[in-house]
Amino acid sequence: SKPHGSMSNSDHKPQNLLGFSREELEGLADDLGHARFRGRQVYEGIYRRRATDFPSLTNLNLRFRAELADRFRITYPQIEREFVSTDRAVRYLLRLEDENAIETVYMPEEKRITLCLSSQVGCAVDCKFCFTALLGIKRNLTAGEIVGQVLAVAQAQQIPHRARLNLVFMGMGEPLLNLPAVMRAVNILADPNALGVPLRRITISTAGIVPKIHELAGDPMRPKLAVSLNASTDEQRNAIMPLNKKYPLKHLIDACRAFTLRPREYLTFEYVMLDGLNDADADARRVVGLLKGLRAKVNLIPYNGGPELPYRPSPLQRVLGFQEVLTSRNLPAYIRISRGQDVRAACGQLSLAGIED
Ligand code: SAH
């Protein structure tokens, strides 16, 4: 189990260790002639103790530390700018090593902290109401860049290891179109010897990549799943989410029905409320019909607008009326007032605003 990359030529730029799994670091220790458990100590040093250099890995002998420093480094995505909302949410603009940029959102709550993570640079899915879509897709993030978002923000905000963290893949990108790297990152994020965020506090949100929902369902290390429903008929959904033509509602809901839930686990459906478009009582009744028999809850998200897009948010009364139709039919529904709207950190607003100022 050789880690990626060559280990012998020190004329190469040192390789970033972020994203290496425990097994790979054990293999690395082995290759360098050390006991495998030394690799586990590197793993815990990087992800649990959040070391950013090798001298601070004081449980390793000097030779191993020197060998590591010669060949490797520990580099987080660089915080280029931070935009602090009046509601205390912070939108972080992070610079990657190839000069691409992504965003991560920090949302402190009373008893927990939620981090909203990106899975790709930009997005390929092209939902008509989402600002990230305007960027197009640049590339997938690596597992190291995904884990690095958490470590960079944890360092900046001095989040203690013990803090109650929630991680949601609801930033830029479609996580199910980068599933290998996302799951590789989740394995590190959820490992008690690494970042230690329980799987039940990690959520992957998808626009509805049906075959990948089936694939995720079979993964014992899968986090929770949220599905961006956003419409009550195929016609409506085709118009605002073109991927629905490839993966229509019936197939999407079938995949959700096949997604075996753990005890007390719910599937979450997100529904962006667009004025006059998908917010009628008849839509709400159709949503109830679609989700019948599923252990589901619905998050109603007021649309966050901007001059580039033609939509309007549903009036609050309409959101409340829609919610009432769902809850009165025993479908739990919550209104999710987006945080960080004043700094373009809210749902659907991540579009690298401010990158060139
Ligand atoms: N691509 C994944 C992850 C992004 S999650 C997905 O689609 O689920 C982003 C969430 O914000 C999605 O539920 C999406 O429906 C919602 N969203 C997108 N644009 C929005 C906007 N302008 N206002 C409010 N919510 C929006």
Give the predicted TM-score (pTM) of the model.
Answer: 0.95
Question: What are 310's two structure tokens?
Answer: 């033609």
Nearest CA to ligand 1 atom 26: 348
Give one word for 276, left, alpha or beta, with left for phi > 0 and alpha for psi -120 to 50. Answer: left
Q: Does any ligand 1 atom lie closer than 6 A to the CB of residue 205?
A: yes
Confidence of residue 356 (pLDDT cuts 50, 70, 90): low
Does the Cβ of 340 fall within 6 Å of ligand 1?
no
Q: Is the CB of 202 under 6 A from ligand 1?
A: no
Ligand 1 atom index nearest CA of 349: 22
Q: What is the mean pLDDT of residues 204-209?
A: 98
How far does residue 300's CA lie from ligand 1's centre (Å)?
A: 11
Q: State the Rg of the chain over Cα.
A: 21
Picking from 210, 281, 307, 197, the residue whose alpha carbon sits closest to that of residue 250 is: 210
Q: What is the mean pLDDT of residues 108-128?
A: 97
Nearest to 335 by CA among 279, 253, 276, 261: 279
CA distances (Å), origin 115, targets 175, 202, 230: 15, 10, 23
- What is residue 112's predicted lDDT score, i.e. its pLDDT? 96
Q: What pLDDT is attached to residue 350?
A: 85
Ligand 1 in reach of 269 Cβ (< 6 A): no
Q: Residue 22: what pLDDT?
A: 98
Predicted pLDDT at 345? 86
More reliable by pLDDT, 8 or 144:
144
State in Å: Cα 129 to ligand 1 middle: 8
172 CB under 6 A from ligand 1?
no
214-246 tens-digit pLDDT: 999 999 999 999 999 999 999 999 999 999 999
pLDDT band at 274 (very low <50, low <70, confident <90, very high): very high
pLDDT over 90 at 5, yes or no: no
- What spacing in Å lies between the alpha carbon of 266 and ligand 1's midpoint? 19
3-class secondary-structure state, position 140: strand
Distance 228 CA to ligand 1 centre (A): 7
Q: Which residue has the higher pLDDT, 212 or 342?
A: 212
Cβ–ligand 1 contact at 103 (below 6 Å): no
Supply 240's token pair.
């605002």
Cα of 48 vs centre of ligand 1, distance in Å, is: 31
**What per-residue confidence (pLDDT) applies to 12?**
65
Active site residue ranges: 103, 347
Place 6 in a pLDDT band, splitting at 50, 70 and 90: very low
Question: Residue 355: which pLDDT band, with cuts at 50, 70 and 90?
Answer: confident
3-state SS class at 183: helix
The percent of residues in the chain predicted with pLDDT above 90, rounded, is 89
Ligand 1 atom at minimum distance from 271 CA: 15
N- to C-terminal Cα separation, the chain: 45
User: For residue 194, is pLDDT > 90?
Assistant: yes
Instruction: Please name the residue whose Cα sits nearest to atom 3 of ligand 1.
Output: 170
Establish whether residue 227 lines the binding site of ligand 1, counting it when its CB lies within 6 angstroms of any ligand atom.
no
Q: How far is 120 from 298, CA to CA, in rounded Å?
A: 25
